Amino acid sequence: MGVTQKLGDLGVVTTTLETAINWARTGATWPLLFGLACCAIEYMSTQGGRYDLARFGMELNRASPRQADLMIVAGRVTRKMAPVVRNLYDQMSNPKWVISMGDCASCGGVYNNYAVVQGVDEIIPVDVYVAGCPPRPEQLMHGILTLQEKIMGERIKEWA
């Protein structure tokens, strides 16, 4: 990036605190190692060699919700699983974001029935929805980039 050019001889960069914080947050959003169904397999593919999620500073999956910033709800959320998902979300420390990956997590998908929660946004707040059943890795990456854009636009006065 342009940091080295801007540094010049002075060794000083001027920016706003907001931009610096947001920049730091986008580059290292650690996702929670959390898979529910089919989409989790595509999520694994995204982490595999060909798509290489590490390019976005996201190769480090944390199994503990305490250490994670991003929850990728990959798969259908059932009524039995819903309290668990909410519990995990509550345990994550702020700031935290949620990507709802796939049709089932976003709106119930093909399973409009008694067992499936019709959209994970009924139980946790969602930042980015990714469509597809399951979404291709490219789609998930697009969702992640969209989230990074969203994080870049966050204002300190809204959360501090």
Interface with another protein includes 36 (CB under 8 A)? yes
Strand order from edge to edge, sheet including 70-74: 70-74, 97-101, 128-130
Cβ contacts of residue 58 below 8 Å, gap of 6+? 28, 29, 30, 31, 70, 144
Residues in the interface with another protein (CB under 8 A) total 44
**Quick check: 62 and 28 in contact, CB under 8 A?**
no
C-beta of 6 vs 48, nearer to another protein: 48
Interface with another protein includes 84 (CB under 8 A)? yes
Interface with another protein includes 35 (CB under 8 A)? yes
C-beta of 23 vs 150, nearer to another protein: 150
Among 14, 63, 153, 160, binds another protein (CB under 8 A): 63
DSSP 50-97: TT-GGGGT----BSSGGG-SEEEEESPPBTTTHHHHHHHHHHSPSS-E
C-beta of 16 vs 112, nearer to another protein: 112
Interface with another protein includes 122 (CB under 8 A)? yes
Residues binding another protein (CB under 8 A) = 33-38, 40-42, 44-45, 48-50, 63, 65, 75-76, 78-81, 84, 86, 88, 107-108, 110-116, 118-119, 121-125, 133-134, 136
